[in-house]
Amino acid sequence: MTTRPLRSLVAAALAAAMGLAGAAAWISPAAASERSSCPAKPLRVVVSVNQWGEITRQLAGSCAKVVQILTDPKIDPHDYVPNAKAKKRFAGADIVVVNGVGYDDWAQQAAQEYAPEATVVVLGEGVGVQVGANPHLWYSPDYVFLSTRVITGALLEARPKAKDYFLNRLSAYQSGPLEGYLEAVRSVPVGEPPLRYAATETIFNYMAATAMLEDMTPSAWETNSLNDRPQTNASAREFKALLKAKKVDVLIFNTQTSDPVAKKMVKIAKDKGIPVVKVTETVPPNYATFVAWQEAMLANLDRALRR
């Protein structure tokens, strides 16, 4: 096994983000930290889910109060229906940040009702992903980098007086925490032929592709998962046969949207000695940052693939 160089798409995303700030704005984290006070009136920013909320908080600094709506790792964001209290938290927002791609339509609806004057930042549109595609954008290093640019652009538009402040924070975040995140991606072992995986849900597919893993998940199972449909007897039989034949090196299990059929696949994998890597949709409370959460999952994947 070897380690990979940074994939070209990630490098391209980084270059695009640098283009927003310009060469003069691309400064060190130490210099950015010196600008701790906001030079403009702080914004109220509401974010649908905490994986994007924590990133937004890092980019906005003291120039925004960031409100995160969904933070409970026991709740499936796909099926979440906010109550009246949750919807009212959108009130007074200057900016609303949502994932889009059909993932959190409930947030866009709440924003229309309670914050009709707010700028709604749909990250899927910002990075060029259409509804019907895999909505789990935060598992793609490419889309994470591009999303930091999109979010910073919205902050700049809302508070142009804080331009230098926001550009400095973008620089500090991308050259600091996110560089460590990319190093963790680079450390995942590469096999020849490619190492293989199957997944109970499509959540990790972007990251798996970045890590150059081969997706062996049965197409019927993956289609049902992507379209939020229950698995059929045929798709379950196909997945079971794949695992029993040990045709994968690792099973990716989304604990946040698990169901009895998926749990059966986990049991089969463990019985066959196939390592299982658990992933979640939102940031669990035991991780302080998005990067810490992602690095922990990548470390688990690394250990599983090196077994």
User: 180 and 193 share a domain?
Assistant: no
Residue 148 and residue 28 share a domain = yes
Q: Which residues pair with 278 in a beta bridge?
A: 253
pLDDT of residue 7: 36
Q: What is the pTM (predicted TM-score) of this model? A: 0.88
- Domain assignment present for 2: no
pLDDT at site 284: 93
Quick check: is 283 in a domain?
Answer: yes
Give the Cα separation of 295 and 186 in Å (integer). Answer: 11
User: Where does a domain end: 184, 214, 241?
Assistant: 184
Q: Confirm if 44 and 92 have CB atoms less than 8 A apart.
A: yes
Which residues in the chain show pLDDT less than 70?
A: 1-36, 258
Q: So what's the pLDDT on residue 75?
A: 85
Instruction: Classify residue 192 by burial, with Cβ atoms within 10 Å: 0-12, 13-18, 19+.
Output: exposed
Q: Are residues 18 and 88 in the same domain?
A: yes
| Region label for 112, one of left (φ > 0), alpha (ψ between -120 and 50) or beta (otherwise) | alpha
* Beta sheet of 64-70, edge-to-edge order: 64-70, 43-49, 95-98, 119-122
Looking at 124, 153, 184, which one is the last position of a domain? 184
Is residue 1 domain-resident? no
Q: Are residues 158 and 204 in the same domain?
A: no
Q: State the helix-helix crossing angle for 141-158 and 177-187, rounded to 10 degrees.
A: 170
Identify each DSSP E strand in 50-93 by its residue range.
64-70
pLDDT tens-digit readout, 29-83 = 444 444 468 999 999 999 999 999 999 999 999 999 999 999 988 888 888 999 9
> Which residues lie closer than 8 Å to 65 by C-beta, 6 or more apart?
42, 43, 44, 45
Angle at 227 between CA 223 and CA 231, to 5 degrees: 60
Pair (132, 237) in one structural domain:
no
Q: What is the pLDDT of residue 256?
A: 85
Instruction: Give the count of domains, the chain.
Output: 2
Same-domain status, 71 and 200: no
Q: Does 179 lie in the same domain as 55?
A: yes
* Secondary structure element (H or E) that encloses residue 227, with its range: none
**Domain end call among 146, 165, 184:** 184
Domain residue limits at 278:
189-305
Q: Which residues contact 106 (CB under 8 A, 6 or more apart)?
A: 48, 80, 81, 82
CA distance 166 to 294: 24
Task: Quick: pLDDT tens for 136-156.
Answer: 999 999 999 999 999 999 999
Q: Are residues 141 and 22 in the same domain?
A: yes
Give CA separation, 193 vs 217, 225, 249, 302, in Å: 17, 27, 12, 17
Q: Are 279 and 253 in contact (CB under 8 A)?
A: yes
| Same structural domain, 93 and 234 | no
The per-residue pLDDT for 36 is 66
57 and 204 in a single domain? The answer is no
Do residues 111 and 208 both lie within one domain?
A: no
| Same domain as 144, residue 81 | yes
CATH number, domain with residue 19: 3.40.50.1980
Omega of the bond prior to 193 within 30 degrees of 0, cis?
yes
